[in-house]
């Protein structure tokens, strides 16, 4: 075998194996995020177009004060879970999915993965629905007719 074919074979073996660096703890010397970075990420979770569109819909339906109360209650219910996962990840330098191995074991770590997948599918559906409704409003403004078929 030529050196090129050996190198190509070794490269293909690398791409077929699981990536290990993502599940290993990050050494303290390589950790570059702090509270400011985590705050920006957390704000990014809540401050996006879909949240603003949903908020505008809530305000027009239930009023400003009730919408603010709903947001405060909702964030208060969710924030402990975000903080717990973030604290574990920051303290030990591991991603949340790896931290779940402590609670569920390696064989049971699929449980939070399935829950994450369900949440991701629901979130995708919500974003798609709200974005489609907003796009339909734009089409109605310029074209005069709705194109949503339910």
Q: What is the mean pLDDT of the chain?
A: 76
The proportion of the chain whose per-residue pLDDT surpasses 70, expressed as a percent, equals 75
The proportion of the chain whose per-residue pLDDT surpasses 90, expressed as a percent, equals 1
The answer on pLDDT for 42 being more than 60 is yes
Query: Which residues have a Cβ under 8 Å from the Cβ of 23 and sit 6 or more positions away?
Result: 94, 95, 97, 98
Say whether pTM exceeds 0.85. no
What CA–CA distance (Å, rounded) separates 47 from 44? 5
The whole-number pLDDT of residue 121 equals 92
The answer on pLDDT for 20 being more than 70 is no
The answer on pLDDT for 60 being more than 70 is yes
The whole-number pLDDT of residue 114 equals 86
Express each pLDDT in 66-113 by its tens digit: 888 887 888 788 778 777 777 777 788 887 777 777 788 878 878 877
CB 14 within 8 A of CB 86: no
The answer on pLDDT for 6 being more than 70 is no
């Amino acid at each position: 075998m030529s050196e090129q074919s050996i190198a190509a074979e070794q490269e293909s073996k690398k791409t077929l194996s699981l990536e290990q660096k993502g599940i290993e703890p990050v050494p303290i010397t390589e950790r570059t995020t702090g509270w400011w970075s985590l705050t920006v990420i957390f704000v990014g979770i809540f401050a996006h177009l879909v949240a603003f569109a949903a908020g505008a819909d809530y305000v027009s339906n239930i009023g400003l004060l009730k919408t603010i109360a709903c947001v405060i209650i909702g964030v208060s219910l969710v924030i402990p879970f975000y903080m717990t996962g973030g604290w574990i990840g920051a303290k030990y330098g591991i991603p949340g999915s790896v931290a779940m191995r402590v609670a569920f074991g390696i064989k049971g770590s699929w449980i939070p993965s399935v829950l994450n997948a369900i949440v991701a599918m629901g979130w995708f559906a919500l974003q798609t629905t709200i974005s489609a409704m907003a796009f339909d409003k734009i089409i109605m403004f310029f074209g005069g007719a709705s194109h949503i078929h339910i």
